[in-house]
Amino acid sequence: MAKKFYIEILHQDKNSSARYGLLHTPHGTVELPMFMPVGTQATVKLLSPEELVQMGAGVVLANTYHLALRPGSKVVKEAGGVQKFMNYPGPMLTDSGGYQVFSLTKLRDEITEEGVTFKDPLSGSKHFFSPESVIGLEEDIGADIIMAFDECAPYPASEKYMVNSVNRTIRWAKRCLNAKTRDDQAMFGIVQGGDFAYLRQYCAEELTKLPFDGFSIGGTAIGEPRITEYHEVSLTVPFLPYDKPRYLMGIGSLDMMFDGIRKGVDMFDCVLPTRLARHGTLMTSQGRINIKNARYEKDFTPLDPDCDCYCCKNYTRAYLHHLMKCEEGFGGRLCSIHNIRFLIRTMEQAREAIKNDRFLEFASERLAAFKTQRGC
């Protein structure tokens, strides 16, 4: 177990598997369950690290693949690690690039047992990612939590393809552990298997035999139906250890986060809140709204009267409408502040509900108010 890294489960909801706890890391202790803002290139788009702290952010993500291309992992290492590089004082996590194996098919060669070669979209140069090289990059970047290099298989995938992919992910996981040299970083294994029940179980059982510090549920939110996403989580969580963190990757919708929490998941991340914000879509306690709609032109009320963020306390819907219609950068910043704080605050409220054994009631109430829909 990495030094100064461990989880404390302080309470489990009496009516579900939802759990409240603390995650201890070298850069501080954070409460679970939590939503983690995504700072792909060592920045959460349009927001400052100081604003993230003010919003109550705990762990913030950065991406190994993107930082390896720009500015290069050695630059980040020379700066003193990713926290010092971007001036974020809290815990951080780096993805391994496994998602890019799935998402950047036009920029990569065929997957081999040794790894994957990517083409830099800017310079055209080639970069080879293997389990060993990825761990080297993540150790240079220096986040508190690093992810094992895996293959995120596409959806749908044939059973034969998925069998081979899962076995490769397990072999790569072992190579990642063998390559790890730093004892001040925690490493998570990533469970794959698509929607094949026996493969999810097999992958989880094989990975949990290994000395990982936590486990992630991978291969969700990659284009499969929502009911399949729910199913993949259900197939995985029962085979993950109770005393280690559980992380559902790439999820930022209320329904999926609440479903994950109900089943015992602790950590979530997604680019969704800032991506929506840059296009004028806002997550509010009454549901999603598109602030560009003409109905908000003369709406001088706060964006969300139930929100305590800087945007909602200081600006009106009419002003946000004006900024976004004029494509002013300040509008995107305000909308991003709101959406990130909305999800962080929702997790704060979920934690209180768990401690009071009323998580299921809370989730039902919130989803009803949010006008539950696909992608909510």
d(C-alpha 218, C-alpha 190), whole Å = 6
The answer on 149 and 293 residing in a single domain is no
The answer on 208 and 112 residing in a single domain is yes
Domain that holds residue 86: 6-270
pTM of the model: 0.96
> Does residue 374 carry a pLDDT above 60?
no
**Which of these three, 270, 292, 320, is where a domain ends?**
270
The answer on 118 and 15 residing in a single domain is yes
Question: For the chain, what is the total number of helices (H) and then of strands (E)?
Answer: 15, 15
> Does residue 376 carry a pLDDT above 70?
no
**Which of these three, 270, 290, 308, is where a domain ends?**
270
Reported as a single tens digit per residue, the pLDDT across 260-280 is 999 999 999 999 999 999 999
User: For 10-19, 20-29, 63-72, 98-107, which range has the lowest pLDDT when averaged over its residues?
Assistant: 98-107
User: How sure is the predictor about 4, in pLDDT bands with cuts at 50, 70 and 90?
Assistant: confident
Residues serving a catalytic function are 95, 269
Q: What is the CATH number of the domain that holds 184?
A: 3.20.20.105
The answer on 136 and 24 residing in a single domain is yes
Reported as a single tens digit per residue, the pLDDT across 207-237 is 999 999 999 999 999 999 999 999 999 999 9
> Does residue 129 carry a pLDDT above 80?
yes
> Does residue 333 carry a pLDDT above 80?
yes
The answer on 242 and 182 residing in a single domain is yes
> What separation in angstroms does the CA of 271 have from each of 117, 221, 336, 345, 370?
25, 12, 11, 17, 20
> Does residue 3 carry a pLDDT above 90?
no
The answer on 294 and 253 residing in a single domain is no
d(C-alpha 135, C-alpha 198), whole Å = 29
Reported as a single tens digit per residue, the pLDDT across 38-59 is 999 999 999 999 999 999 999 9
Residue 374 lies in a domain: no
User: Structural domain tally of the chain?
Assistant: 2
Can you list the alpha helix ranges (DSSP code H) found in 70-212? Answer: 73-79, 82-86, 98-103, 131-141, 159-179, 197-207
Residue 192 lies in a domain: yes
The answer on 288 and 251 residing in a single domain is no
The answer on 130 and 233 residing in a single domain is yes
**Which of these three, 228, 248, 270, is where a domain ends?**
270
Q: What is the mean pLDDT of the chain?
A: 95
Angle, in degrees to the nearest 10, between helices 329-355 and 359-369: 150
